[in-house]
Amino acid sequence: MCLAVPAKIVQIILTDDVLLRTGRVDFSGVQKTVSLAYVPEAVAGDYVIVHAGFAISLLDESEALASLQAFDDLARFEATL
């Protein structure tokens, strides 16, 4: 099973080649560098769906926040089991 997770872009790392474009994203406090090759239109502050180190699509902020809340709710529920 594959899982793609919403993250907020906090920094774009510019390169001369759009296929090598990366950015720092924030996963609820954990920051990672991911490839932005599939979302060349992305800018800092945007939310993206990240899978296997690649941002694969842009995500509306309200949708991203709802998804993050669902992950948080699931983690809290799992902790009660």
pTM of the model: 0.86
Q: What percent of the chain has pLDDT over 90?
A: 65
Q: What percent of the chain has pLDDT over 70?
A: 99
User: 5-79 sits in which CATH class?
Assistant: mainly beta
Q: For residue 1, what pLDDT is reported?
A: 59
> 40-59 burial string, b = 16+ CB within 10 Å, else e?
eebeeebbbbbeeebbbebb
